[in-house]
Amino acid sequence: IQLTQSPSFLSATVGDRVSITCRASHDISSKLVWYQQKPGKAPNLLIYGASTLQSGVPSRFSGSGSGTEFTLTISSLQPDDSATYYCHQLKSYPITFGRGTRLEIK
C-alpha cells in the first residue's frame, strides 16, 4: 500500500492552522498513524487509529479521515512544531510510511 503525502514542504507562521494530507493507494480503514520527527531524533507518535491523540501530545494536533484519505491538522502552530511529519499505514504488510512533509516555521 503506497502512501502519498502532500505537501512535501510547508512553511507557515506561528499561530497558523496547517494541514497535511496522506492518501493511501488502497482502503486502509482507520489504520493510519502520524509521527513527528525532528533532525537527529527518533520519530514521536502523535496520532494512531487515524484520529486518536497519543497520551502527552498537545491537543493542537488532530487527525481525521478513513479509507484512503487522511489529514493531520495543527490548529495553532508553535515554534516547537518545526519537524518532518510522516503518515504510516498498519493495514497490511509490508507496513509503509509516506515520504514525509517538512514543516518550517517562518
Partner 1 sequence: EVQLVETGGGLIQPGGSLRLSCAASGFTVNSNYMSWVRQAPGEGLEWVSVLYSDGFTYYADFVRGRFTISRDNFENTLYLQMNRLRAEDTAVYYCARGGPAAAPMDVWGKGTAVTVSS
Asked if 57 is part of the footprint of partner 1 (rule: CB under 8 A), the reply reads no
Distance of alpha carbon 84 from alpha carbon 35, whole angstroms: 8
Asked if 37 is part of the footprint of partner 1 (rule: CB under 8 A), the reply reads yes
Per-residue burial over 84-97, b if 16 or more Cβ lie within 10 Å, else e, is bbbbbbbeeeeebe
- From 1, 45, 53, 105, residue interacting with partner 1 (rule: CB under 8 A): 45
Q: How far is the CB of 72 from partner 1 (least distance, A)?
A: 14
Q: How far is the CB of 14 from partner 1 (least distance, A)?
A: 26
